[in-house]
Structure 1
Amino acid sequence: MAPIATCTTTLPNSEPSGFMLPDLFSDCHYPLRLNFHSYPVSRASEQWLLNGASLAEPRITKFMGLHAGELIAACYPDANAFHLRVCADFMNWAFNMDDWLDDFDVDGTWGMRDCCIPAFRDPINFQMDKLAGKMCKSYFSRFMQTSGPGCTERFIRSTDSFFIAAAKEADDRAKGHIPDLESYIAMRRDTSGCKSCFALIEYAAQIDLPDEVMSHPVIMAMENATNDVVTWSNDIFSYNVERSRGDVMHNMIAVLMDEQGLDLQSAVDYIGQLCKDTIQRFEDNRAILPSWGEEIDRQVAIYIDGLQNWIIANLHWSFETTRYFGKDGHVVKRNRIVKLLPKRPLY
């Protein structure tokens, strides 16, 4: 029997000492492939971020343990070096943006949006002295050299949706508000940043799917399924670190504990089952994909493979990065036991 009781047994009125991760890999049999250009592109992108963001310790050490380039190499395994580098720069920027916004209130979040979205709309002429905006100009001016109009617009809109949802999250954080499950799922699909990464599937493959394809209910259902598996599993992986710093309101575990009165392990198990069901939802929709003709169908197949890559790449990378489990990722991946970190003092 799995040692769930061992890691969750508590005395009355006390917190558990840990929890057991669901066996997500047993439900996800997609192949993991790595881009040939991974190492040089990852190192170059890391240096770009360090130079552009002017990080200082301890953020430098935290960033160097992120290994976002390795995630990108598995998400876009067939991209050439130029396109992979743009994807890696965006991902490094996005992770650091996510960390920056954790410290921002609503006005600060809107201010960050105002210095980034205009840089996407006109990366050549838009002038901005803030580092985040300059970095947007850097990677997006390269993005636009080969991106199609549909892909470009989808990337900008989805990144804008990220900022809008992040502002809502900041407002909830300030008010101590935990959303209901339905509202949380809708908001999480935007705060994850996954939608921008899905536009990068087109960019990396140098395709530009028609709007009527991208707005088709089956395609949208597969995107939502991918987004959900990635973000819900991320909520499980990140919960320990977020709990230790007292910031778990925007986490599905906390939502379930608040709304349904579940204990920690029950909430984790609930999400694990949802992830399993959602992978099946992805496959069910793959089975009913319509046809748009030979050439469009070829491009759609590339896009669906890209969504699949995101599911499996995120699972493996979550144990390679130090972001969630420190240097113990390989141990946690093997035994699935997460020991809760002590909560940091407020003062």
Structure 2
Amino acid sequence: MFPTVTHTTTPDCEPSQFILPDLVNDCHYPLRQNPHCHAVSRASDQWLVDVAQLVEPEIRGYIDMDIGAFVATCYPDADAFHLQVCSDFTAWLFIIDDWMEYGVVDVQGVRESCNFAFRDPINFDTEQLGAKMCKLFFSRFRETAGPGCTERFIHGGELFFAAVAKQVDDHPKGHIYDLESYIALRRDLSAMKICFPLIQCVARIDLPDEVLSHPVVMALEDAINDHVAWSNDILSYNKEQSYGDAHLENIVAVLMNERGLDLQGAMDYAGQMCKDAIQRFDSNRARLPSWEEEVDRQVAIYVEGMQNWMVGSLHWHFNSARYAIKQDRVVKLLPKKHL
């Protein structure tokens, strides 16, 4: 499953910089942008002001992320209505994840209130801001999502909150994950298990359980999930290590600890893991079984949607102010912050 180790030495002193893997050139899928990008971006920014009740300077960081551009590349074929749902959901996800990570909200409390909002977004009433945001985007999601798609979205949300709760509980203990347990946790932390049914909702399809439980389809989802999560870890490592958080929730630090790699070796190793995830996606796509004609058509749409998510997410990371990545891929390590 894992690539061959190429760097096994640990330097006597801390490195001052590292070179990012060439993730963009390794990901060979075409990048497309939704034509509704500009309008949805403006509406998404206003949503943060009106609904999330964010003000300066906090709101500036989220606006500079350009969430509208993010969803426009991940969902290039969505109509304006569905693209707005995706944008509002993604804004909520970034905000609620930050609030939980930095202790702004109680994880268990927001988990319970958001789950209630998912189950009954029309009638459930709450003063919890994160759950209020859930009600607004999820009530629109349910207007067009099929029953299977809706239930899988809710289940993906439950897995995400459970993983965050575990992460927050592990953090003060200084727990260091082994590679296998980290991969399992990261697949829930990535929130891709919420995004997979969103891909179907946008395309107005609702694949049957017998399709989504097929080993090849599940392997495709794992490959996309891994690539999105690991590339995010690679590109966010510098910021995380400056806060001292990378040892808990980053594939690079996990590899350094478990494989005895130096920083550059772990970066290279993680980059190869991303390449391997692409190869897994391609090989499993070629092995897809055939169902009936209409189901096969919908499966093809779903698989292309996963592909769009992989390439769209990757390119957004390189362009987003949240990650501040230089195009030459040479990254100078940020100094540690004293909190």
Both structures adopt the same fold (TM-score exceeding 0.5): yes
- In 2, are the aligned partners of 1:46 and 1:92 still within 8 Å (CA)? no
Q: CA deviation at 1:61?
A: 1.7
For 2:331 and 2:242, the matched residues in 1 are separated by 13
Structure 2 residue 332 is matched with structure 1 residue 339: yes
* 1:179-223 Cα distance to aligned partner (Å, 9 max, x none): 110000000001011111111110100111101111111011000
- In 1, are the aligned partners of 2:44 and 2:67 still within 8 Å (CA)? no
Say which SS state the counterpart of residue 18 (structure 2) adopts: strand
Q: CA deviation at 1:122?
A: 0.3
For 2:45 and 2:189, the matched residues in 1 are separated by 23
- In 2, are the aligned partners of 1:226 and 1:311 still within 8 Å (CA)? yes
Q: Which has the higher contact order (CA 8 A, sep 6+)?
A: 2
- In 2, are the aligned partners of 1:22 and 1:336 still within 8 Å (CA)? yes
Q: 1:275 corresponds to which residue?
A: 274
* 1:12-62 Cα distance to aligned partner (Å, 9 max, x none): 642111110111222211011111101111110121122222223332121
For 2:141 and 2:154, the matched residues in 1 are separated by 11
Please report the TM-score for the alignment, with normalisation by the length of structure 2.
0.95
Structure 2 residue 256 is matched with structure 1 residue 263: no
For 2:196 and 2:157, the matched residues in 1 are separated by 11
Amino acid of the structure 2 residue aligned with 1:345: H
Structure 2 residue 191 is matched with structure 1 residue 166: no
Say which SS state the counterpart of residue 338 (structure 1) adopts: strand
Amino acid of the structure 1 residue aligned with 2:338: P
* 1:227-258 Cα distance to aligned partner (Å, 9 max, x none): 00011011000011111122111111111111
For 2:256 and 2:289, the matched residues in 1 are separated by 39
For 2:275 and 2:131, the matched residues in 1 are separated by 38
- In 1, are the aligned partners of 2:186 and 2:229 still within 8 Å (CA)? yes
1:1-347 superposed matches below 5 A: 13-104=12-103, 108-248=106-246, 249-325=248-324, 329=325, 332-333=326-327, 335-346=328-339
Q: CA deviation at 1:309?
A: 0.4
- In 1, are the aligned partners of 2:153 and 2:198 still within 8 Å (CA)? yes
Say which SS state the counterpart of residue 45 (structure 2) adopts: helix
For 1:219 and 1:46, the matched residues in 2 are separated by 35
Q: State percent identity of aligned pairs.
A: 60
Count of aligned residue pairs for this structure pair = 331
Q: Which runs of 4+ in 1 moved over 6 A?
A: none
For 1:50 and 1:178, the matched residues in 2 are separated by 38
- In 1, are the aligned partners of 2:11 and 2:262 still within 8 Å (CA)? no
* 1:74-106 Cα distance to aligned partner (Å, 9 max, x none): 11111110011001100011011111111239x
Say which SS state the counterpart of residue 166 (structure 1) adopts: helix
Say which SS state the counterpart of residue 278 (structure 2) adopts: helix
For 2:25 and 2:125, the matched residues in 1 are separated by 49
Q: 1:3 corresponds to which residue?
A: none
- In 2, are the aligned partners of 1:225 and 1:278 still within 8 Å (CA)? yes
Amino acid of the structure 2 residue aligned with 1:241: K
Amino acid of the structure 1 residue aligned with 2:32: R
For 1:180 and 1:52, the matched residues in 2 are separated by 40
Amino acid of the structure 2 residue aligned with 1:337: V
For 2:40 and 2:25, the matched residues in 1 are separated by 31
For 2:242 and 2:56, the matched residues in 1 are separated by 20
- In 1, are the aligned partners of 2:48 and 2:59 still within 8 Å (CA)? no
Quick check: 94-103 or 282-291, which moved more? 94-103
Please report the TM-score for the alignment, with normalisation by the length of structure 1.
0.92
For 1:212 and 1:155, the matched residues in 2 are separated by 17
Amino acid of the structure 1 residue aligned with 2:168: A
